[in-house]
Amino acid sequence: MLHLENMVLCRESQVSTLQSLFGERHHFSFPSIFIYGHTASGKTYVTQTLLRSLELPHVFVNCVECFTLRLLLEQILNKLNHLSSSEGECSTHITCEIFNDFVRLFKQITEAENLKDQTVYIVLDKAEYLRDMEANLLPGFLRLQELTDRNVTVIFLSEIVWEKFRPNTGCFEPFVLYFPDYSIGNLQKILSHDHPPEYSADFYAAYINILLGVFYTVCRDLKELRHLAVLNFPKYCEPVVKGEANERDTRKLWRNIEPHLKKAMQTVYLREISSSQWEKLQKDDTDPGQLKGIKGSVETVTRDTSSVITHNQDTKVHTKEHV
C-alpha cells in the first residue's frame, strides 16, 4: 500500500481515519459518513483512491449529474448491478422512480454472491444538491442501512457544513469527518509534484514559490492554483529558453514573471478571458488591455447594433447587468 502514499499526498491522517472507519470487509460500518471540507481539498480524490485500492465494492455518484430523483436512483442501481453481475453477463437496465422501489431493488441486488458479506459503499458527491431534491431523500439515505437491513454505508461529500443539511424534525446523524485545507507547505509540495520532466524540481519549486507569493493571499483553491501554474509556466521559462538567463538566475526570472502574474490575476483568474486567449497572448506578447475578452466582444456587438435599436430598447440594453 506504499503506492497509496505516493498517490495521495499530505492526507495521511484522513486516509487512516477513513481506513479505520471502513474497518474490515465484513464488519459493519457506520450507516452514514459525512465528509466536508473546502473545494479541492481532496475529498473526492482520496475517497475514490482509497475505495479503489482497497477494492471495496462501491458506487460513485455525482449529484450535480443526477439532478432528478429518477436519474440518481437508477444510476446507483445500475452501477451496483454491474458490480454484482459476473463478467460477460449483460445486465438489463433497471428503472426506478420512487425511493420505495429503490429500497426493494437494492435488497434484491445485494443478495448477489459477491456483494453478500461485505460492506457496500455508496458515495454521493456534491451532496448539497440533495437538499433541493425530494424531502425524503436525504433522511432516507442517512438511514439506508436500517431501511434495507443490509451492510451498506452511504458517504456524503460536500463543501457545506452538516448543520445546514439537517432536516427540521431531525434525522439519523451521520459520522462527520473534516478534511482540513492544505497549508502553504502542503500546497507547495503538491504543486511541485507535477513538474514537467524537462526542468529540474528545484527550478519548478522556485516558480511555485513565486506563484504562491502572488496568489496565496487571494486564493487557496488547489485546482485554480494548478491551472494558473500550468498556464504561466511557459512565460516563466521564456528567458531560459531564449538563453537570456539560466535556471539559477532567480532575480531575472522573478522580474520577468511578476508583472505577468499580476496581469493574470486581473484577467485569467477572473475568467475575463479564456485560457486559450491567455496562451495566445503570451505568444504574441500583447497587452491584455487591448484584448477584447468576452465582455469586450459583447460591447462591440451592442455598439454595432445600437444604430438599429430604438431609444427605449437602447436604454434597456445599456442598463442591464453586465454579462
Partner 1 sequence: MSSRKSKSSNLIQADYVSQVQRILRERFCHQSPHGNLFGVQVQYKHLIELLKRTAIHGESNSVLIIGPRGSGKTMLINHALKELMEVEGVSENILQVHLNGLLQINDKIALKEITRQLNLENVVGDKVFGSFAENLSFLLEALKKGDRTSSCPVIFILDEFDLFAHHKNQTLLYNLLDISQSAQTPVVIIGLTCRLDILELLEKRVKSRFSHRQIHLMNSFSFPQYLKIFKEQLSLPSIFPEKIFAEKWNENVQSLSEDRSVKEVLQKHFNVSKNLRSLHMLLILLLHFWFCLGNMLALNRVTPSHPFITAADLMEANQLCSMDSKGNIVHGLSVLEICLIIAMKHLNDIYEEEPFNFQMVYNEFQKFVQRKAHSVYNFEKPVVMKAFEHLQQLELIRPMERTSVNAQREYQLMKLLLDNTQIMNALQKYPNCPTDVRQWATSSLSWL
Q: Interface residues with partner 1 (CB under 8 A)?
A: 1-2, 4-5, 12, 15-17, 19-21, 23-25, 27-31, 36-38, 41, 54, 98-100, 103, 134, 136, 139-140, 143, 145-147, 151, 159-164, 169-173, 175-176, 178, 180-181, 183-184, 216-220, 265-266, 269-270, 272, 321
Residues 49 and 4: beta-carbon distance below 8 Å = yes
Smaller CB separation from partner 1, 213 or 234:
213
Rounded distance between C-alpha atoms, residue 184 and residue 71, angstroms: 40
Residues 246 and 240: beta-carbon distance below 8 Å = yes
Residues 300 and 292: beta-carbon distance below 8 Å = yes
DSSP codes, 254-303: HHHHHHHHHHHHHTTTTTSS-HHHHHHHHHHT--TTTS--HHHHHHHHHH
Q: How many residues does the chain have?
A: 323
How far apart are CB 199 and partner 1 at their closest, in Å? Answer: 28
How far apart are CB 174 and partner 1 at their closest, in Å? Answer: 9
Number of C-alpha atoms within 13 angstroms, CB side, residue 131? 14
DSSP codes, 101-131: HHHHHHHHHTTSGGGTTS-EEEEEESGGGGG
Residues 9 and 49: beta-carbon distance below 8 Å = no
Smaller CB separation from partner 1, 207 or 215:
215
Smaller CB separation from partner 1, 82 or 223:
223
Rounded distance between C-alpha atoms, residue 5 and residue 22, angstroms: 18
Rounded distance between C-alpha atoms, residue 169 and residue 149, angstroms: 23
How far apart are CB 113 and partner 1 at their closest, in Å? Answer: 19
Rounded distance between C-alpha atoms, residue 316 and residue 272, angstroms: 23
Smaller CB separation from partner 1, 62 or 118:
118
Smaller CB separation from partner 1, 137 or 240:
137
* Nearest C-alpha neighbor of 234 from the set 296, 183, 278: 278
Q: Which residues pair with 32 in a beta bridge?
A: 154
How far apart are CB 169 and partner 1 at their closest, in Å? Answer: 6
Rounded distance between C-alpha atoms, residue 58 and residue 79, angstroms: 9
Smaller CB separation from partner 1, 9 or 218:
218
How far apart are CB 271 and partner 1 at their closest, in Å? Answer: 9
Residues 130 and 139: beta-carbon distance below 8 Å = no
